[in-house]
Amino acid sequence: MRRRITYLLMLCLCLTGIPVDKIVVYGQEVVTNYITNGGFEDDATIWTDWTIMTQSWADANVKSFKYNTDSYIQGKEGEQAITYWVNDQQVNSYEISLEQTIQGLPKGEYTLSAYIMGEKSATLQLSAGTTTSSALAINKGYNTWERVELSFEVEQAGDIPIKLTIAATPGAYSYIDDIRVEAIPAKEEETDAPSIVNGGFEESSTLWSDWKIDTTDWNKAKPEEFAYASNADILAREGQQCIKYWIDSSEIVSHTITLQQTVKDLPAGKYTLSVYSMGGDGGKVILNALDESGEAAATQGWNIWEKVYLVFETTETKDVPIQITIEGSPNAYGYIDEVSLKTYEDSDVPKPDEKPIPEQGDLFIDYVPGISDDFIRGMDISSLIALEESGVQFYNKAGNVQDICKTLKESGTNYVRVRVWNNPYDANGNGYGGGNNDLAKAIQIGKRATQAGMKVLVDFHYSDFWADPAKQKAPKAWESYSLEEKKLAVYEYTKTSLQALLAAGVDVGMIQVGNETTNGFCGETDWANMCALFNEGSRAIREIDANILIALHFTNPETSGKYAKIAKTLNEYNVDYDVFASSYYPFWHGTLSNLTSVLKNVADTYGKKVMVAETSYVYTKEDTDGHENSAPKESGQDLNYEISAQGQANSLRDVAEAVVNVGEAGIGIFYWEPAWITVPQITLEERKETWERYGSGWASSYAKEYDPEDAGVWYGGSSWDNQALFDKEGKPLPSLYTYSYLKNGAVTDRKLTSYETLSVAAEVGAEIVLPEAIKGFFNDGTQETFNVTWDEAAIAVAKEKGAGTYEITGTLIDGAQVKCQLVIRPKNLVLNPSFEQSDHSMWKIDYLGESSDYVGYQNKASDAKTGNYSVHFWNDEAINFTVEQTLTGLEKGYYDFSASLQGGDCNNSEMTIYAKVGDKTYKAETGVKGWANWNTPTIKDILVEQGTLTIGIAIKCDANGWGTIDDFVCYLNSKEIDTGNNGGGSTGGDSGDTTQTTSSTSSNSFLNAYNNLSTSKQEEITQKLSKYMPYTLLQTSQDLKWLDELTGSIFTTEQLKALLTDPKALEKMGITLNYVTLTPIKEMNFKDVANTHWAYGNIEKALQLGLARGMDEENFAPNQALGVADAFTFLDRVLLLNGQMKTKLSRDVVSQYWTDKTNWSYAHKMSIGSKLSEKTLKEVAALQEKPLSRELFAQVLYEITEGKLEIVNEITTFTDIEESPYKEAIVYCNQVGLLKGMNNGKMAPDKTLTRAEMMIVLSKLNELL
């Protein structure tokens, strides 16, 4: 009734001709015109309310016009209008446009209208969203106003651009007034049966009587009316209001909210009760009617509305109570709207199919309702030829070697996808890797797929190597081409390539014109140019075979509005294509419901088919080939499925269902690189050789010339081996057969597959509480809870040791053991350090350049290092800003500070983290190296004496740089204040200078103080120095605290500095000392270390720091086993560089084991030997010059660092170190990042290190120190 009155009032007002923008109905404003300043009455805001453009302000003048300035004109409503006049002396026509975007226009049908009058040749075109009118002539003459209009529909509430475009010839003029966007009243639905009262919550005055609303705690779980207009960011449902709820984040228990209503005299029959629900953070909605209850429907996230259904039946006419139950955990929030009750036949509830009988298999797989037999079940096996050339063999289910194409066909696959690069080779014919996928390989794979009975999708990248959102580089041969030349090249290349494929007998069913062309295509980033190139590829395909489907491929479906904008742009440029394809990796790309929604929107709006061109999931965390995996990562990824073959199958099945749920337009999915497993060579060195030779890794070193920033840095093996559908031996995993079970489903024996991964974090000194129970997961998707008893002794030890990462063992009732990671962190003094709390007042963002407002707090887990929030930046102008916080009330001491950064496209960048204490500023450089590749620099030993410290990050780069900042950490470290220290501030982590420089002083200052001591005191100090003074020293070494303790704390800081920087003082005391000079080598020209060598960067860095030298001028001998002399020399230099002076053994003890004083390494061996236990020193000395084993080397590292380096890695279980006497040292070195395990899960403790491997250890040790 309320709507009827509203529409009648609107109609009456319209009939009277009175223009109104709002009316009041039942005390509430109802919008009648959604245009702002459509009558141009507010002169002060016309030019901000409207974007008015003309090709020439001098020759096509546009201005506001007051009717009272011309006594002859017959004005429209109000006092003003917009007018234009085109200079009649010109020969060209001009275009004039007026634009405005309506924010949050609700779903519905609308009319855009305007009044216009004028004469001489001109046309007007109206557009609203994607709807555009034909060009309307403006020629009625002076004072003859004409109303023009355009009807359009808004299918989903959102921002709608409105535009009026005038094309005017010389001499033409017009007046424009009263531009309006008005809702077309919806037809009143007629219902025969009683229905829900106030189901849209629009009637505020009766809402609380129409509905009985209750909650378990009105202060902690609060439902309330919500007006969509109060939040411009919300995606509104029908009408203007809904119900909003939230659960207090401070709660520790869940709460329940109920909405109840009784439907009077409901006739006998079958009904569907439904409601729309949206929200997140642990909310669930359950519908109840009579004695029936629906399933709990979890909220899917902000702006993701889902319809919740309940089907029930009544056998007689009766009053039927209905209830909406909302269950929410702490911090849950949500919105509900459009409660509806319809007869079952009239409702849009999905009607259940007859459930098929599942087949017996090796996994549990639920069938996909509605999946068709011709649904594409595809696999991308582009790397196949390179893998086979590298020695990889693939097996069938029976365990026999078999052509993989035949195995795929047997597994239910009906389509094969293969990528094509134009020329993935350098001038010498060396392949760039990634399969070296040229046209010839595509033909090879395509023929085998065709022979096995599968169709082929050809994925043309139009590049010589990987094309993706971050890079769309044109082929080398096309780099200098103009757009017109490039259009011709795309056309000819596509046509000749397709002809070659068809001539070879390949059954080409679909072609991709470009790969993940979200941000560019073939070197072009302007959409007009990109679309012109798309069309040239399409033209070539249509000319050969109009039945071949043409696909365009994009990614990042999780980004709000991205696909809608891309599809609209393609439509505006009349791009010819059939299929809108998306990548969807569940750990990167958001929810499946969102995937369905954005694809359905494209399909319904533009009549396109849609599909997923790439998807995959992990079956193991193991890195089987020694090249780091893409997933799982510690941050920026959501792995919501079990990491197993069962998890893979569940993920693949659910992606298929998401596409099926689009409707008939959803045509299929492709699994990306299911066969990209490790090559069979045993050692990492052998595998690297194979990757280089055959291109079976993701990139070879030869790709550096074409892609220096990505492939040139990270080239190597497969980062996808743990997402394959074959194990590392080439044998099929059960998940390979998922496609064959999508129609009917599969069942197997139920068994426990894994326990949940538990991780508990606590700050130093806080109570440590581990969970009393742990979840166990079963292969049928169910879970059970098991009580667990934790090792209290291990917890106590961890608490005693303090900061670090520990693995605590728990025991279940049946004796099974489980693990919990315990992370004890120093107390982080930064407030809201990861931006998760809504209060950001403690943070200060300063813009130092000309532009501003391009930095904000973003809620997006995939862009955050931890949690959901981070600080995000992007600007189309130069970027220059800081983010900082000032900490106060700090106790006197030394502090460490770090912050994390990731991003890309930051050219000419200057990026640092900084810490300010008084007038002093400490800095550590940082930078971006691609999405989800986090940099975490650290500034150590910041001396705070007055209680105040400002920490921050400074970002400066060219336009279009982007990134996110997260996880600021600042804590008091354990270093004691040294009154003689220069203030600290050493840097570590990703960047920064670790050297400290001090001024030279005369030795007299020390000797004078020494000579004034008593004879007995002099003898005591001389004896200590002669025993424990290190045998080597840099003049810049300043471990003054240790030296002060050694000499009895009787000398000043300046006197101790004098002792270290001038050898005369020690010489006069009869103490021998070897001053070491670290000579940097700026250019590396070794014949046996090419710039493609895997350790090239680490060797170069060691040389530049003066830590290492070659065997001679031409040879470094990177593969030579590391002997004791080399090892101790390298280690001594890095310790000296970092001022590490402290010794454990006296010189006379160490000299018993190193007796050859003429040996070139004697001084270094004496120095490192003095930092070891005698037991370890004895074992090392027994080797003489034989190579060190990894386990003994680990013990040396453990002792020279005193086991105090910061732990950065979780404990990894190595099966071959249990019996090692150096197990503790090996685990420590692995946790701090000095030693890595082998790719087979072992540490190989008996193996020796090479000189090249030592350079990696040196680089890492230098960072950690």
Phi first, then psi, for residue 916 (nearest 5°) are -115, 125
Number of other CB atoms surrounding residue 781 within 10 Å:
12
Closest CA relative to residue 322, chosen from 303, 305, 342: 342
Sheet hosting strand 241-247, strand order edge to edge: 221-227, 241-247, 333-343, 269-280, 301-314
Residues 6+ apart with CB under 8 A from 709: none
As a whole number of Å, the end-to-end CA separation of the chain is: 76
DSSP string, 861-881: GGG-SSSSEEEEEE-SS-EEE
Cα separation, 463 vs 150, in Å, equals 44
Cα separation, 1138 vs 1038, in Å, equals 9
Question: Is residue 401 packed enough to be buried (19+ CB in 10 Å), middle (13-18) or exposed (0-12)?
Answer: exposed
* Alpha-carbon separation of residue 649 from 164, 373, 652, 723, 736 (angstroms): 52, 19, 5, 11, 8
Closest CA relative to residue 220, chosen from 194, 189, 245: 245
| Structural element, H or E, at residue 811 | strand 804-812
Q: What is the DSSP letter of 92?
A: S
* Alpha-carbon separation of residue 707 from 432, 704, 903, 1219 (angstroms): 9, 5, 18, 46
Is the Cβ–Cβ distance between 924 and 989 less than 8 Å? yes
Cα separation, 438 vs 85, in Å, equals 58
> How many residues does the structure list for the chain?
1265
Of 182, 516, 558, 1179, which residue is the catalytic one?
516
Cα separation, 1055 vs 1074, in Å, equals 20
DSSP string, 185-247: PPPPPP-SS---TTTT---TTTHHHHSEEEES-TTTEEEEEEEGGG-TTS---SSSEEEEEEE
Residue position matching structure tokens 């009580």: 787
Pairing mode, if any, of strands 984-988 and 938-944?
Answer: antiparallel
Cα separation, 1126 vs 1187, in Å, equals 9
3-state secondary structure of 986: strand
Q: What is the DSSP letter of 448?
A: H
Of 614, 642, 692, 1191, which residue is the catalytic one?
614
Residue position matching structure tokens 């402290």: 1142
Cα separation, 600 vs 606, in Å, equals 10
Cα separation, 613 vs 601, in Å, equals 18
Residue position matching structure tokens 């893409």: 630
Question: Is residue 3 packed enough to be buried (19+ CB in 10 Å), middle (13-18) or exposed (0-12)?
Answer: middle
Q: Amino acid letter at 926?
A: T
Is the Cβ–Cβ distance between 141 and 91 less than 8 Å? no
Q: What is the CA radius of gyration of the chain?
A: 36
| 109 is a catalytic site residue | no
SS3 per residue for 299-350: CCEEEEEEEEEEEEEECCCEEEEEEEEEEECCCCEEEEEEEEEEECCCCCCC
Cα separation, 324 vs 339, in Å, equals 9
Is the Cβ–Cβ distance between 654 and 584 less than 8 Å? no
Closest CA relative to residue 622, chosen from 478, 718, 703: 718
| 182 is a catalytic site residue | no
Residues marked as catalytic: 516, 614
